[in-house]
Structure 1
Amino acid sequence: MTGFGVAALLFSVLVIAVRVRWVPLESLDRGVVDGLNALVAPHRPLVTLMGGISRLGSFGILAWLIAIAATLLLVRRRLRLASFLVATALGGLVLDPTLKLAVGRLRPVVERPVAHGGGNSFPSGHALNSFICYAALLVVFLPALPARWRRPALLAGGVLVLLIGFSRLALGVHFLSDVIGGWSLGAAWVGLCAAAFELVRHESGKRVTAPLAEGLEPEAARDLHPAAPGRAPAEAPRRLWAVAGLAVAWVLTLGALVAVGLPLARYQHGNGNVLGDHAIPHWFAAHRDAALERITATGSDVGNTHAILAIGLVVGAVALAVARRWRPVVFLLTVMFGELTLFLASAAIAGRARPDVPNMDGQLPTSSYPSGHVAATICLWAAAALLVLPRTRAWWRWLFVAAAVLMPLWVAVARLYRGEHHPTDILGSVLLAGLWVPAAWWLLRPNADVTEHATARPAPATARPVRAAP
C-alpha cells in the first residue's frame, strides 16, 4: 500500500507541474528529448529497434496478451483472477485518453522526426498501459512459477516496461515527465486494484497475500500452469522424426502447388478459361450490387491475416487451457505457419495475374494463385475441428465442422465476387490445405493424450460363457 501511495503522490505532483508549465521541468524535458533525437535519429537500425520495442507497449499487443490470459483463466474457472486482469487493463484504457484531454499537453517537436504519436502527450499511454498490463499479468501468474524464478520474472517485467518507456523518448514522441507520469499512474492503479482484490479475499475468509512475492492467489498455482509437464526422454526420437516428416511434407506440398500453378499462370497470361477462370469472374463482375458488396467485403475480411491471427490466438489459448498439453497448440501453430509459408512461396513462383475484371479492393501485393485467404480459412477451421471433435461429445462440436465447411465457402465466393481470384486459385488453396493439414495431423498427433487416456481405461468385464447342458 505504501508503494502505491507514493506512486499516486508522484503522479499528482507531475500533473500540477505540467499544468503550470514549471520551467525547470520543461527545461529538463526539452533537453532529454532533443538529446535523444540527435543521438537516435541519424541511425536507421536504432530507430527500427526502438520502434520494435515500442510496439510491445501498443494496444494491439497488450490487448491480445490480456485476452489470451483471461481466456485461459476463464476456462480454468478462475473467474476472480480473470475479472482482476480485465478490470485492471480496462482502467488503463479509460485513464489514458481522459487524462490526455484533461491536461492537454502537446507532443514534442523535434529537429529530425522519426515517429508520429496521435493525441496529446501527458501521460504516455505506452508507459501507462505497459506497466498496468505486464504488472497485472505478473501478479496473476506468479504462483505458477517456482519460487526461485519469481524475482527474475519481476525483474524481467520491470526491464521490459523501462525499455518501452525509453523507446517513446528515443522516438521523440514523449517528454520524460510523460513517461514517468505513465509509470507512476500505472503503479498507483495496479496497487489500487490489487488492494481491492485482497479486500475481496479477506471478506471471503482467505488470508491476505504479498502479491509481489507470491502472487494474488497462491492457491490457484495448479490451474495457472498452462500445460502439464511432458514425457521428454521417450518422445525425443519421435519429435525429430516428426520435424523431418513435416519438412518432407512441406516440400512435396509446394511441389504439387507449383506443378498446378505454373501452367495456369502461363496459359493465356493467367486468364485462360480453365474451369471457368475467365467466365466466372466476368459473370460476378456483371452482377455486382451494393448489398452483395457489403456481404462479400465482410467475407473477404474474415479470411485476411489479421482476422485469422486473432481467431487462431483465441483457439490456441482455449486449446491450451482445456487440454493442458502443448501438442494441440504446436499442431495449430504448425498448420498456420506452414500455410503461410507455402502460400508465399507458391505465389512467388507461380506469379499468376489477377482476373482481368475491375478489382474491388485495389492493388494486391501477391499473385493470384493460390488464394491465401481461402487457404488460411480452411487450415484454421479444419485444425480447430480436428482438435475439438475427439475431446467432447457435446452437440456444439458440430459447429466447428460446419465452420470448417461454410467459412471457406463464404471467403471463396467473396474473393471471386470481388475480382480477386480465379476459380482454380480456390482449387489451389484446397490442394494446399488438403495436403498440409492431414500431414501435420498425422505427424504431430495433436489428440494423442485423448487416445492414450482411452486405451488406458480398463476393458469392460465380459460375461462368463454359459455351459451347454449335458
Structure 2
Amino acid sequence: MHPLGLLHSAIVDAVTEPAAEDVALAELAVAGVLVTTGIVQTGRRYVSAALCVGGLLIAFAIFAIQVSDNGWLTGGDAPTRSWFIAHRTPWMDTAALVITTLGSPGAVITLTALIGAWLSWRTRSALPIIVIVATGAAASATSTTLKLVVGRGRPPIETQQVITTDYSFPSGHATSTSALVGITIAILTIGRGRQFVALLSAVAALLITLVAASRLYLGVHWLTDVIAGALLGTAFAVIGATVLHALEQRRTAIGSAEAAGSAGESHLSSARAS
C-alpha cells in the first residue's frame, strides 16, 4: 500500500472511537473554551497564542476525523450543496468566479506579499514580508499534504461550475485566505486600539466567508472542507503573528544593546579625551 494510504488508514483506525457524536461534541466544546480563553487573555501573548492554536487545531482534527469516518458533522454537507445549486443565478455565477479567483492561494499570496513589502518598507525591517510569505507557504503546504492524507473526493463533477478533480479536504482557498488575511490583519493592528482591531477583524471574517461561500457556490467543496480550511489557516495566522512578535522583540533588544554599547564607547572616549 502507498505510504499515504497507510497513514490514512492508521489515522482512521486510531480515531474510530473518538468519532462518536458525544465525544466529538465534548472535544469541540474544549476547543471552543481554549480559543475563547486565549482571546480574553491579556498581557500573556505566548500563553494566549498557545491556547488559541491548540483550540483551533483540536477543532480541525475533529473535522478531519468526522470526514474520514463520514461522521455526523458531515450531515450538513449535502443540504448546503443543494441549497447553493438551487440559488444559482447568472450574476452570482460571475461574482463567485471573480471571488474564487481572487481568493486562490496564488492570488492571495501575491497580494499579501505586496502588503508585506509595503509594511517592511514602512518599518525598515524585512521581517513582515518574510513572516507573511512563510506563513502562507506553510499553510498551503500543510493543506496540500492533508488533502493527500485524508483523501476526500470532491462533490459530483456534474454540478461543478469550475471542474476540479483533486482531493477536497481541507479547502486550499479557505486555508490560504484565512492564514494570509489573518497574519496581515495581525500586523496592521499592532499597537492599535480595540475599535480598529474589531473593524479589521470583521473585514477579515467577511473576506474569508466570501471566499468560502464562492467555493460552495461553484460546487467544488463541501461545507466541512471550508470550515476546516478556515480553522487551519487561522491557526497558522496566530503562529505567524506570534513568531513575528518574538522576532521583533529580539530585533529591538539587539538594537537597544548596540545603542547602549555605542553610548558607552562614546562616553569612555570623552572621558579619556578630558
TM over 0.5: yes
2:80 is matched with 32
**C-alpha distance in structure 2 between counterparts of 1:146 and 1:199, whole Å:** 21
One-letter identity of the residue aligned with 2:69: V
**What is the aligned partner in structure 1 of residue 18 from structure 2?**
none
Distance, in Å, in 2 between the alignment partners of 1:195 and 1:143 is 12
Asked if 1:165 corresponds to 2:205, the answer is: no
1:21 aligns with 2:70: yes
Counterpart check, 1:190 vs 2:232: no
Distance in 1, matches of 2:68 and 2:205, equals 28
Mapping 1:260-275, distance limit 5 Å: none
In structure 2, the partner of 1:7 is 56
Q: Structure 2: how far apart are the matches of 1:31 and 1:91?
A: 32
Structure 2 residues not aligned, in runs of 5+:
1-48, 254-274
1:103 counterpart = 2:150: yes
Q: Residue 37 of structure 1 contacts residue 111 of structure 1 at CA under 8 Å; is this kept in 2?
A: no
Partner of 1:255: none
Contact 1:70 1:85 in 2 (8 A): yes
Judging by fraction of residues, say which structure has more helix. Answer: 2
What TM-score, normalized by structure 2, do the two folds share? 0.67
In 2: Cα distance, 1:143 partner to 1:203 partner: 16
- Separation in 2, partners of 1:59, 1:185: 14
Q: Deviations over 1:195-243 (max 9, x none)?
A: 333344555676xxxxxxxxxxxxxxxxxxxxxxxxxxxxxxxxxxxxx
Q: What is the total number of aligned residue pairs between the two structures?
A: 203
1:127 corresponds to 2:174? yes
Contact 1:34 1:110 in 2 (8 A): no
Q: Helix, strand or coil: the match of 2:189?
A: helix
Query: How far did 1:118 drift?
Result: 4.5
| Residue aligning to 1:180 | 227
* Structure 1: runs of 5+ lacking an equivalent: 207-470
Distance 1:70 1:59 in 2: 16
SS at match of 1:13: helix
Q: Cα–Cα, structure 1 residues 78 and 118, in superposed 2: closer, same or farther, change >3 Å?
A: farther
Residue in 1 that maps onto 2:188:
141
2:147 counterpart SS class? helix
Give yes or no for contact 2:120–2:127 (8 Å, CA) kept in 1.
Answer: no
Write the mapping of 1:416-455 to structure 2, written as runs, cut at 5 A. Answer: none
Deviation for aligned residue 1:111? 5.4
Measured against aligned partners, the alpha-carbon deviations of 1:126-167 in whole angstroms (never above 9, x if no partner) come to: 100001111111111224977654322221121111111111
TM-score, normalised with respect to structure 1: 0.40
Q: CA deviation at 1:85?
A: 1.1
Letter in 2 for 1:59: P
Amino acid at match of 2:213: F
Distance in 2 between residues matched to 1:89 and 1:148, nearest whole Å:
27
- 1:266-321 CA distances to partner (integer Å, 9 max, x unpaired)? xxxxxxxxxxxxxxxxxxxxxxxxxxxxxxxxxxxxxxxxxxxxxxxxxxxxxxxx
Which is worse superposed, 163-172 or 103-112? 103-112
Does the CA-based 8 Å contact 1:104-1:121 persist in structure 2?
Answer: yes
